[in-house]
Structure 1
Amino acid sequence: MRAIIFQAAGFEFFGLQHLLPLILLVVLSFWLPVFARDRLSPQNQVWIARGLAIIISLGILSVAIFRLLINQFDWRENLPLDLCNLLALFLPVLFWNPHPRLVKLVYFLILGGTGQGIITPNCPEGFPHILYLSYWMVHCGLVLHIIYIVVVWRIYPRFVSILHSMVAMNIYAAVMFVLNYFMDSNYFYVMAKPITPSLLDYMGPWPWYILTGQPVAFVIFFLLWLPFFRRNSIPDAQMTEDTRPSINIDNAAV
């Protein structure tokens, strides 16, 4: 039990502690949404989505409580203001009854942003440290949750959703810049690069990596949209029940 709370074994990039969460995420991302869509009732589909959202949000809260209990909470570093943590914290509120437009917007932010946190994680603690467990539960959970919603309810992002996500991301970055300036913090890495290796290392020094990151983000979002290109090419008037993006959570939950 003490190891789960306090052990601080070093994390190794693409070592076993890195690969196992990735493998589990890939398996669940392929299996769970398809299984739920094809085998479960609408009511059960809804409660799986809501259950995932609650678990992910609790992962963020558990870290804050843990740090407070051991007197290691630094508001300049440990507030849930990074994009991944902020989305995770409010996931039950945002997606209790998810609106298709919100799903399309957040799809790119989660897979584009959280995906980077999975491939190049900023998590120095190793298994079974509580911060390690929380980090992977939150990051992998966000990816699994948005894929689940997109697949189960056939909510297909359109090309214009990329532009909406780019605007939302930049508004968020601007807000974080102001907060970081007054708080002497570095949320969303708009004041400095993370100390761990990341894609930002190839984009030049501060503040240039913020500008060069714009086309990189667009390319990543575009690649994430490509699986829906064929779906988007079907005119709405010609869409069948199998191809029409739809969601009816309120009725399903009754």
Structure 2
Amino acid sequence: MMFRAFLAILEIGSFWHVFPIVVAILAGTFIIYFAKSKLNRKQQVNLLCVLTVSLSLFVLLVPVYKLITHEFHIKRDLPLYLNNFTALIFPIVLILKKPLLFRILFFWSMAWGVQGILTPDVTNNPQSLEYFRYWIANLMPMVIVFYVLFILKIFPDFNSVFLSIVSLQIYFIIVMIINEILHSNYMYLNAKPASITVLDYLGPWPYYLIVMQFMLIPYFLLFYFPFYLLKKQSSSNL
């Protein structure tokens, strides 16, 4: 009954669903505009460092807080969902200064973030820590990759589409092993989430995992398509 009541609060299109999305769009737009118009190159990179480190620390501190308050559960609170893992490695990617890694994180952030926006899997009330963790971990990586796109001008290319998918398969395997050890369901690899998601239309376990793998290629290509058009237009103008 409590779960049903919460679903009524977080109904798709409701205030508590739309509000964090609008905040992220406004905040992201302001940050990018401010960096582009007011900061030099070094300051822009420093701001990116602040964004990535802040996000990473937030993702790390949530399970630490739960551990201190005796609310931590190893089967659900490790930062192993793709959005949380992406948040953790953003600072490492920034230190390594490898554009390819940014391109991979672009697809990871967009793929998981868009799915999280369209079919939110939040099973706590909007005043809870879980609510804030969910939306920050889903939306902030998208803000960061758009910052990298507009400020650092690092755009995804065709090769990075498939490298992102291959690297994601490796991560899937790692998480599957962890799930087997902990008897957990990180990345929803052992069962579908309680809330309604696109996985509900892909068949029962384990078939939805197989279907999902085939969907990754067109899904990632969809995010690459605007950059393909932009590159094609730039080439035609030469």
TM-score calculated relative to the size of structure 1: 0.83
Q: How does 1:182-193 map to 2 (within 5 A)?
A: 182-193=181-192
Q: What is the number of equivalent residue pairs in this alignment?
A: 230
Which consecutive residues of structure 2, in runs of 5 or more, have no partner in the other structure? none
Q: How does 1:127-138 map to 2 (within 5 A)?
A: 127-138=126-137
- Identify which range, 191-200 or 93-102, moves more after superposition: 93-102
Q: How does 1:17-36 map to 2 (within 5 A)?
A: 17-36=16-35
Deviation of the 1:162 alpha carbon: 0.9
Deviation of the 1:202 alpha carbon: 0.7
Q: In the aligned structure 2, how far is the partner of 1:229 from the partner of 1:199? A: 26
Q: In the aligned structure 1, how far is the partner of 2:19 from the partner of 2:94? A: 28
SS of residue paired to 1:90? helix
Is residue 156–residue 232 contact of structure 1 (8 Å, CA) maintained in 2? no
SS of residue paired to 2:80? coil
Gap change, CA 1:104 and 1:239, over 3 Å in 2 = farther
Gap change, CA 1:80 and 1:239, over 3 Å in 2 = farther
Q: In the aligned structure 2, how far is the partner of 1:124 from the partner of 1:186? A: 15
User: 2:146 maps to which residue?
Assistant: 147
User: 2:209 maps to which residue?
Assistant: 210
User: 1:101 maps to which residue?
Assistant: 100
Q: How does 1:25-174 map to 2 (within 5 A)?
A: 25-96=24-95, 98-174=97-173
1:157-211 deviations in whole A, cap 9, x for unaligned? 1112111111111111112112211221111111111111111111111111111
Is residue 109–residue 142 contact of structure 2 (8 Å, CA) maintained in 1? yes
Q: In the aligned structure 1, how far is the partner of 2:36 from the partner of 2:96? A: 17
Gap change, CA 1:97 and 1:47, over 3 Å in 2 = farther
Is residue 103–residue 150 contact of structure 1 (8 Å, CA) maintained in 2? no
Higher helix share: 2
- Identify which range, 58-67 or 186-195, moves more after superposition: 58-67
Is residue 34–residue 152 contact of structure 1 (8 Å, CA) maintained in 2? no
SS of residue paired to 2:154? coil
In the alignment, which of 10, 13, 30 is matched to residue 12 of structure 1?
A: 10
SS of residue paired to 1:201? helix
SS of residue paired to 2:153? coil
Deviation of the 1:82 alpha carbon: 1.4
TM-score calculated relative to the size of structure 2: 0.88
Q: In the aligned structure 2, how far is the partner of 1:71 from the partner of 1:176? A: 24
When the two chains are superposed, the root-mean-square deviation of aligned CA atoms in Å is: 2.2
Which consecutive residues of structure 1, in runs of 5 or more, have no partner in the other structure? 1-8, 241-254
Q: In the aligned structure 1, how far is the partner of 2:225 from the partner of 2:126? A: 35
